Amino acid sequence: MLENYQPTILFEDNHLLVVLKEQNLASCPDESGDDNLLDLLKDYLKRTYNKPGNVYLGLVHRLDRPTGGVMVYAKTSKAAARLTEQMRTGDFEKRYLAVLGGAPEPESGKLVGWLKKNAVNNMVYLCTEGTDGAKYAALDYRVLEKRGALALTEIKLHTGRSHQIRVQFAGIAHPVYGDMRYGGEYAIRGKLALWAYSLAFTHPVTRERMRFMSEPPAEETPWKFFRISEAVDPAHLG
């Protein structure tokens, strides 16, 4: 495990820990045995507050390993349960920025479909309703800016399926830039151009509506081709 890991904390109280997940770091333990954010945060809490024994930290949602951005973890089981319920009812809002290969037509709309994961190769595939193991997937999108063959796009998830954004846009021939699994001609080596830039939910105890935002690395390709600061302006949230 990374020693003395110092997370980028956006908010912390007795109930929640909102942090920035780095790209290429797993959200939680997986079969790889690699370092993951959940265990690193538990270690951080144990060190910071001199907690004896095991530290509780509840996993509320996940980001794919190559995706960076805002995540919330629950410091109590009550907070975890209430946030999970918000995910079920749609009160837990997740928005992403992605750089796509070309702009979809129309430039704003909704993608719905069915996805199935192959656990052997860790790939997700579009399939038809009724397929064994298929899960419903839905998202809204709108193109914010176009630069040549690339399109900066905002995505609002309605479901949180594994690899959902990447597979659904690859399925309409507009893959995410830098996606080595589904990107086709846009499978350009480097970091995946997908960022969880906005997370909104109701505080599980105070009932305050909260929103946390984070810019993707604006100096890196392909983000540097776009006006990122304007894209993440809360005034532009649709």
Using alpha carbons, select from 136, 222, 130, 137 the residue that is nearest to residue 177: 222
C-alpha R_g of the chain: 18
How far is residue 164's CA from residue 27's CA, in Å, rounded to a whole number?
A: 16
Instruction: Count CB neighbours of 29 within 10 A.
Output: 14
Which residues, including other chains, have CB under 8 Å from residue 219's CB and lie 6 or more apart? none
How far is residue 18's CA from residue 52's CA, in Å, rounded to a whole number?
A: 23
Using alpha carbons, select from 206, 199, 235 the residue that is nearest to residue 97: 199
Q: Is 43 a catalytic residue?
A: no
Catalytic residue, candidates 34, 35, 64, 132: 64
How far is residue 62's CA from residue 44's CA, in Å, rounded to a whole number?
A: 19
How far is residue 25's CA from residue 34's CA, in Å, rounded to a whole number?
A: 8
Catalytic residue numbers read 64
